[in-house]
Structure 1
Amino acid sequence: MALVDPIQIAIAAICVASFVLYNSREEILFRSKLLEMRSSVKKLLERRRNSRRKAILSVVELVLFFALIYLAFTMKIFWAVVVSNSMAPTFERGDMVLVQTLFVNPEKGDIVMFERGDLNLPVTHRVLKVEDGLVYTGGDASGPDARPVPRDKIIGEVVTIFGSPVVVKGVGKYFILDATQLRDITPFGQEYLFYKNLIELFRKYAIAIIVISIAAYVYLTVREFTA
């Protein structure tokens, strides 16, 4: 019986071990590459989802922006200055309330703006009841009005959020002309004149400002997508 040389056995063992290790290394590398590919695919899909989401949000923002511009220019929604305290404490003289003319269906408890023949300015009071095509109104502080208002005289309704009207306190005082408080040519002197001129300047260049704003928004959006 021939004896096996121990050196040959050792060499064979080393070859087998090297082969196993080599295959294991190749398998590890293959799995690593596979994981990298999976990670790359996931990142690509996530990037596409984010891009699609950003595109949808940008379109929604643009639609809302143009909708607000349309509503403002067509007076479908606007700010009205309160000139008396008849609705105190809900809102007071010098406040500004948000009024909309899109959906006008006066019901008890609503606050509506309407025209009255004996006054030059519209009145904003609360609806007390609606009966036979007539809207009975009154101020929270002044009480019921003397006569009801026909529905066709209702200009709009005050916008409310969770039952509370949208009010900006005190800003409207700069737009109220009061003959009993006249000082020079305005009720609030140079401060009032400054704000008046500022608003007139904005109205004059409103279209240019809007175009520049839209262009800047589109530029920033495109830049974000291409970054």
Structure 2
Amino acid sequence: MTMDLTYSGIDISDGLIVSGIFLVLLALFHLYKKKNRIIIGLIASQCKPRRAELKKDTVGRDWLTFIILFVMVVILGLKMVSPMVIVSDSMKPEFQRGDMIIVQSVSLTPKVGDIITFDVKNKNYDVSHRVISINNGAIITKGDNSPRKDNYNTKPENIKAKAIQVNNRPLVIKNFGALFIVDYSKQGIIYKFGDRFTFIQQLSAAIRAWGIVLTIFALFGYIILMQRNKR
């Protein structure tokens, strides 16, 4: 198994996209605050709901938003859908160390071509490799970057999750997983963000530790805000 110990950083194109969206939102907010009669006034003149209707519509949207958030929390909390951080290069070029893939644990029946995350006996880590064949209940896997198949003797009960694929390609978030590898800076990694990168690692570790508490507080806070808006 080869391992590329370099951190390439964040693609500047992503930053440009985010900056562009942020600037558009700022521009719209500026128009709203200034009560631009040409744009905002024209839109407002076409839609003037009565106060009671507006209040009812707002409450309905609030509850719809809450239900969507709650469902997302349940799905993520039960790990029906969850991110998986990649810590090796065994699946290059599909994904590599420091990337993050999205996996699901609802349907675990393996098929040839699936990328499965499975438990390896006598090892303290999981493996995410591609299924190349299934023989009499034994699942044969292989890393795309390896010339040889695995000898893990994987069984269906060892499967923890399957990568979500679109057009036979897994959903991959490039480089983002590096922020969640606590020992990333201790492996000779080359990265260009210095102390800021270490700070992000520490922040992500804190978020993971307090994630449940923060989620509960956020949901309760949202309910309180909805109740206030009813008044």
* TM norm structure 1: 0.62
Q: Which residue of 1 aligns with 2:95?
A: 91
The worse-fitting range, judged by mean Cα deviation, of 135-144 and 122-131 is: 135-144
Instruction: Determine if the alignment matches structure 1 residue 69 to structure 2 residue 73.
Output: yes
RCO higher in 1 or 2 (8 Å CA, sep ≥ 6)? 2
Identity %: 24
Following TM superposition, by how much is the alpha carbon of 1:96 offset from its aligned partner in structure 2, in angstroms? 0.7
Which one-letter code corresponds to 2:175 in the other structure?
Answer: G
Structure-2 separation of matches of 1:144 and 1:78: 29
Structure-1 separation of matches of 2:144 and 2:57: 50
Note the residue ranges of structure 1 that are not aligned, 5 or more in a row: 1-42
Structure-1 separation of matches of 2:101 and 2:144: 15
Give a deviation string over 1:117-138, Cα, whole Å, max 9, x none: 3643211011112221111111
Structure-1 separation of matches of 2:213 and 2:145: 43
Larger radius of gyration: 1
Q: Which residue of 1 aligns with 2:159?
A: 154
Following TM superposition, by how much is the alpha carbon of 1:108 offset from its aligned partner in structure 2, in angstroms? 1.1
Pair 1:146–1:164, CA change in 2 (3 A): closer
Give a deviation string over 1:48-92, Cα, whole Å, max 9, x none: 9x947972x544433332222223333333221111222112111
* Structure 1 moving runs of 4+ over 6 Å: 223-226
Correspondent of 2:202 among 193, 197, 205? 197
Structure-1 separation of matches of 2:57 and 2:117: 43
Instruction: Give the helix-richer structure, 1 or 2.
Output: 1
Which one-letter code corresponds to 2:183 in the other structure?
Answer: L
**Aligned ranges for residues 200-211 of structure 1 at < 5 Å?**
200-211=205-216
Structure-2 separation of matches of 1:134 and 1:61: 44
What RMSD, in angstroms, separates the aligned Cα atoms of the two structures? 3.4
Note the residue ranges of structure 2 that are not aligned, 5 or more in a row: 1-48
* TM norm structure 2: 0.61
Correspondent of 2:142 among 134, 138, 141? 138
Give a deviation string over 1:8-63, Cα, whole Å, max 9, x none: xxxxxxxxxxxxxxxxxxxxxxxxxxxxxxxxxxx88xx59x947972x5444333
User: Does structure 2 conserve the Cα–Cα contact (< 8 Å) formed by 1:138 and 1:145?
Assistant: yes
Q: Secondary structure at the match of 2:65?
A: helix
User: Does structure 2 conserve the Cα–Cα contact (< 8 Å) formed by 1:137 and 1:144?
Assistant: no
